[in-house]
Amino acid sequence: MNSSPFRFTLADPELGPDAARYLLECVEEGMISSQGRFVRQFETEFAAVCGVEHAVAVANGTCALHLALVALGIGPGDEVLVPSLTFISTANAVVHAGAVPVFADVDPETLCVTPATLAPRLTSRTRALLPVHLLGQPCDMPALLDFARSRDLRVVEDAAEAHGAQFSGRPVGSFGDIACFSFYANKIITTGEGGLCVTRDASLAARMRLLRSHGMNPERRYWHDEIGFNYRMTNLQAALGVAQMPHLLAWVARRRQIARRYRELLAAQATDLFFLDEPPATRSACWMSAFFLRDAAQRDPLLAALSEAGVESRPLFSPIHLMPPYLQSPALYLPVTEAMSARGVLLPSHTKLTDTHLAEIASLVAAALERTAAPHSRRAHS
């Protein structure tokens, strides 16, 4: 039962019909920690979806990013190029590794970093790129890989929001040296908390497995060759993931339908917003459906009006480079990031929403837009 005060919530996870049975199996067998068949099965099945050979399940998405960077040898004295328009864990993971995140702007059409937005931020200390497939929209990974290879840089994909997304028919997660996913409760596949690293490189996978479990020698139990981390995923979490894997592609398809339907409905009812077009080569996972306001001053009143109407919504991520832990002096200016962050609104996007629900939400959004529009804008609409 949903105890949310909202009639329409941003996220409402589906766990699949086998979830309870798999969890009961873990309990009955006593396999509730990181030992058990579901961890290995989840790793194998998710790696297959990404088109790679290796996956390493971990405690959460931030752990995945940190583990990937450490496994690649990123550390003190190094710089990593990251977008500022993302959840703060992307930057925090770089700091946890002892390196410095260097913030780049994003492309206004995709909200992803590109070679053009990254190039001005390069220095002699740049060691890696950490592109983010924001809201499930894939970055142009072939272009980013060319950029990285020509400069001897490593690439970690932050695919936390992009389960099942593709670029030119190739799965997100199959491009970088390592790709990292999150399975937080609002993600397309969820294990409550949880994360996963995928890679084609067997040596990197082995390195991450070693570091994931306290640096314990795999051939000599309780002998530790180096300092590692306790980043293991539990069998209980993995059981939830395995229960959902058969439904992943269908859920992505439905989220794409939801995004298209919002666009159709709101385009017919409102003129003071716009959507971003999906580039032809990409297939977004549409983790969250987003629109953008022409007047940034309308965003916060609109969010409040939607809340009053029973629709849970949220702003796009705030620019990391303007937050206290990362604020520079003088302040860095990233115009696209700052403009789009101030205008973005995310709508309920989960797969339990019916077309009837979407029509009602769109009507409530249109009414809230009308109520919160500036007076001169209302006159223009009348």
List pLDDT tens digits, range 351-365: 999 999 999 999 999
Average pLDDT over residues 333-349: 98
CB 56 within 8 A of CB 40: no
Describe the crossing of helices 61-71 and 89-96 by its angle, rounded to 10 degrees: 40
Q: Is residue 11 over pLDDT 90?
A: yes
pLDDT of residue 381: 52
pLDDT of residue 143: 98
pLDDT of residue 128: 98
Backbone angles phi, psi at 11, to 5 degrees: -135, 145
Average pLDDT over residues 286-294: 97
Q: What is the mean pLDDT of the chain?
A: 95
Closest-CA residue to 209 (of 223, 193, 228, 191): 228
Grade residue 375 by pLDDT with cuts at 50, 70 and 90. Answer: low
In the block, residue with structure tokens 């987003």: 290
pLDDT of residue 1: 46
What percent of the chain is predicted at pLDDT more than 90? Answer: 93
Instruction: Tell me which CATH code domain 19-246 carries.
Output: 3.40.640.10
Which residues, at least 6 apart from 149, have a Cβ–Cβ distance to it below 8 Å?
none
Closest-CA residue to 120 (of 103, 137, 133): 103
Rg of the chain on CA atoms, in Å: 21
List pLDDT tens digits, range 193-212: 999 999 999 999 999 999 99
- Segments making up each domain of the chain, as ranges: 19-246, 248-381
Q: Identify the CATH homologous superfamily for domain 248-381.
A: Aspartate Aminotransferase, domain 1 (3.90.1150.10)
pLDDT of residue 161: 98
pLDDT of residue 270: 87
Q: Is residue 382 over pLDDT 50?
A: no
Average pLDDT over residues 158-164: 98
Average pLDDT over residues 276-282: 95
What percent of the chain is predicted at pLDDT more than 70? Answer: 97
Q: Provide DSSP, 280-301.
A: TTEE---SSEEEEESSGGGHHH
Q: Is residue 326 over pLDDT 60?
A: yes
Tokens of 310: 């029973």
Average pLDDT over residues 301-314: 97
CB 208 within 8 A of CB 73: no
pLDDT of residue 101: 98
pLDDT of residue 59: 98
CB 41 within 8 A of CB 242: yes
Which amino acid is residue 63, in one-letter code?
A: C
